[in-house]
């Protein structure tokens, strides 16, 4: 049953890039959790991250034996389970910093919105693979994907977690544009979207919600909160200059000025300690990872696998772009972690599964189904 070619075609390149990024991540995390706090509880975070990476890597290796074709059939069930988890979060979730994002399952707390990203990609790939055509999709084929996006989007907005909700929107939009829609459909959707924004602004949003959106778009409106974090983040990044201050020599991070320096703002630690050179290396590794992913999409012989590979690649891309844009003050402050670098179990597991699926597709590229 086990095909020898699966081993022969194992994608060592993807493994190598992933490991390199993961190693960079652990180095930076080590610095982030240790600087200024010799020993003590913060070490625990580093150990936990190692366990998360190791654990999810093992699961991924086992999952490689399952042909990804089976995911096509199972995608809708997974999607429904994720919707159920999102509902559970709203009902029983743990309040952290004013929103419900976490669900406690025994000793483990997880963010179902992270898993939702993957299952949305699966279910969209499954849906589009049956209807894709070179001339583009007609309007009627978009109804199902729009509904598939709508429910998780709404549930995540209610948490509220605007960042992850927008990420879902970006991923779904990217996948839809990738499979191509008819020109008239594209433009009419664009017009609807553009006109909906001012209407919602005038009639739907309440005054305090408008205030939040404005602060979200312009952190300087909140100089004691998000605006201050962005300034500190920019100082940390800028002060790294060309060569950086050196491993464990960062000061901004050590002073705990950035409350989330080991999660969402971890790039500022890397930039301060390793300078522009370090940042370029990371950008290069990420770029290689994304190109690799696109290549897997190209090499895959069936539509489902191809769209799936594209979806996962684009998910990783959006997380990188939004996170780095955010810490450099180019984008609103949202809770989007940096893939394979930021601390956090749910994020690690999601991205590792994503990489695993890419490996799965890649090693079966020559298998005739």
Partner 1 sequence: MKNPDREWIKKRLMNAAIIILAAFSVLLLRFVYLQIVEGDEYRRLSENNCIRLQSVPAPRGMIYDRNGTLLVDNIPSFDLKIVLQDAEPVDETIAKLAEFTGITLEELMERVDAGKKVSIYKPIVLKKNITRDQLAVVESHGFDLPGVRVEIEPMRNYIYKKSAAHLIGYLGEVNPQEIENNIYSDVRAGDSIGRYGAERAFEYMLHGKIGGKQIEVDASGRLVRVINTVEPIPGKNIFLTIDATLQQKTESIMEGQTGAVVAIDPSNGDVLAMVSSPSFDLNDFIGGISSEKWKALISDPNKPMSNKAIQGEYPPASTYKIVTAIAALEEGAVGINTNYFCPGYYKYGNRTYRCWKKWGHGRVDIVSALEKSCDVYFYRSGEALGVDTLAKYANGCGLGKLTHIELVNERSGLIPTAAWKKRRFGNSWQGGETLSIAIGQGFNLVTPLQMAMFIAAIGNNGTIYRPKILKFTQDYNGSLESRLEIKNEILGTLPAGKETLKLVKEGLLNVVESEDGTAKRIRIEGIDIAGKTGTAQVFSLKKSDRDSNRKFARHLRDHAWFVCYAPAQNPVIAVSVIIEHGEHGSTAAAPVASDVLRTWLQIKGILPSVKVGTM
Farthest CA pair distance, the chain: 63
- Please, what is the minimum distance in Å from the beta carbon of residue 303 to partner 1? 8
User: Judged by CB under 8 A, does residue 271 bind partner 1?
Assistant: yes
User: Judged by CB under 8 A, does residue 20 bind partner 1?
Assistant: no
d(CA 340, CA 29): 11
User: Judged by CB under 8 A, does residue 8 bind partner 1?
Assistant: no
d(CA 315, CA 172): 9
Stretch that binds partner 1, among 49-57, 163-171, 188-196, 238-246 (CB under 8 A): 238-246
Closest by CA to 334, choosing from 172, 168, 165, is: 165
Residues 218-237 touching partner 1, rule: CB under 8 A, are 220, 223-224, 227-228, 231-232, 234-237
Whether the Cβ atoms of residue 70 and residue 85 lie closer than 8 Å to each other: no
Closest by CA to 357, choosing from 312, 303, 290, is: 312
User: Judged by CB under 8 A, does residue 291 bind partner 1?
Assistant: yes
Whether the Cβ atoms of residue 39 and residue 310 lie closer than 8 Å to each other: no
- Do you find a cis peptide bond into 349, omega within 30 degrees of 0? no
For partner 1, the closer of residues 155 and 282 by Cβ is: 282
Stretch that binds partner 1, among 45-53, 142-150, 181-189, 286-294 (CB under 8 A): 286-294
Q: Annotate each residue in 31-70 with x if it binds partner 1 (CB under 8 A) or - if it does not, as one string.
A: ----------------------------------------
d(CA 179, CA 145): 12
Stretch that binds partner 1, among 7-15, 19-27, 151-159, 172-180 (CB under 8 A): 172-180
- Please, what is the minimum distance in Å from the beta carbon of residue 369 to partner 1? 16
| 303-327 vs 226-239: helix crossing angle, rounded to 10 | 90
DSSP 166-189: HHHHHHHHHHHHHH-B-HHHHHHH
Please classify residue 320 by burial: count the beta carbons closer than 10 Å to its beta carbon, then call 0-12 exposed, 13-18 middle and 19+ buried. Answer: buried
User: Judged by CB under 8 A, does residue 216 bind partner 1?
Assistant: no
Residues 176-205 touching partner 1, rule: CB under 8 A, are 178, 180
User: Judged by CB under 8 A, does residue 129 bind partner 1?
Assistant: no
d(CA 49, CA 51): 5
Closest by CA to 160, choosing from 107, 88, 90, is: 90
For partner 1, the closer of residues 124 and 349 by Cβ is: 124
- Please, what is the minimum distance in Å from the beta carbon of residue 256 to partner 1? 7
For partner 1, the closer of residues 87 and 182 by Cβ is: 182
Number of residues that bind partner 1 (CB under 8 A): 52
User: Judged by CB under 8 A, does residue 321 bind partner 1?
Assistant: yes
Residue of 255, 259, 366, 367 interacting with partner 1 (CB under 8 A): 255
Supply φ then ψ for residue 97, to 5 degrees: 55, 40
Beta-sheet pairing, 94-96 with 99-105: antiparallel
- Compute the residue count for the chain: 369
Contact residues toward partner 1 (CB under 8 A) are 132-135, 174, 178, 180, 220, 223-224, 227-228, 231-232, 234-242, 251-252, 255-257, 271-272, 275-276, 279-280, 283, 286-287, 290-291, 294, 297-298, 303, 306, 310, 314, 317, 321, 324-325, 328, 330
């Amino acid at each position: 049953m086990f095909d020898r070619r699966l081993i022969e075609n194992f994608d060592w390149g993807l493994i190598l890039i992933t490991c390199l990024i993961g190693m960079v991540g652990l180095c930076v995390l080590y610095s982030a959790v240790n600087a200024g706090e010799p020993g003590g509880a913060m070490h625990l975070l580093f150990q936990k991250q190692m366990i998360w990476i190791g654990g999810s890597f093992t699961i991924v290796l086992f999952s490689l034996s399952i042909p990804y074709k089976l995911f096509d059939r199972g995608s809708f069930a997974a999607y429904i389970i994720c919707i159920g988890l999102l509902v559970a979060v709203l009902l029983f979730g743990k309040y952290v910093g004013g929103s419900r994002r976490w669900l406690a399952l025994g000793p483990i707390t997880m963010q179902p919105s992270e898993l939702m990203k993957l299952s949305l990609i699966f279910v969209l790939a499954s849906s589009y693979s049956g209807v894709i055509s070179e001339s583009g999709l007609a309007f009627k084929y978009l109804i199902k994907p729009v509904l598939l996006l709508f429910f998780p989007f709404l549930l995540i907005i209610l948490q509220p977690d605007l960042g992850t909700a927008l990420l879902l929107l970006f991923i779904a939009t990217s996948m839809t544009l990738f499979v191509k829609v008819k020109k008239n459909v594209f433009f009419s959707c664009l017009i609807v979207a553009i006109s909906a924004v001012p209407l919602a602004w005038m009639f739907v949003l309440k005054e305090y919600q408008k205030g939040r959106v404005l602060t979200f778009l312009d952190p300087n409106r909140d100089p004691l909160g998000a605006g201050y974090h962005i300034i500190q983040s920019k100082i940390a990044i800028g002060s790294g200059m060309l060569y950086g201050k050196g491993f464990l020599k960062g000061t901004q991070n050590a002073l705990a000025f950035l409350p989330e320096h080991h999660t969402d703002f971890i790039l500022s630690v890397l930039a301060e300690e390793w300078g522009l050179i370090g940042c370029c290396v990371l950008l290069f590794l990420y770029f290689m990872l994304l190109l690799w992913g696109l290549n897997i999409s190209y090499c895959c012989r069936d539509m489902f696998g191809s769209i799936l590979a594209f979806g996962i690649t684009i998910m990783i891309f959006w997380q990188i772009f939004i996170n780095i844009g955010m810490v450099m003050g180019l984008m609103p402050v949202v809770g989007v972690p940096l893939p394979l670098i930021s601390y956090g179990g749910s994020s690690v597991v999601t991205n590792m599964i994503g990489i695993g699926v890419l490996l799965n597709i890649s090693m079966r590229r020559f298998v005739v189904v």
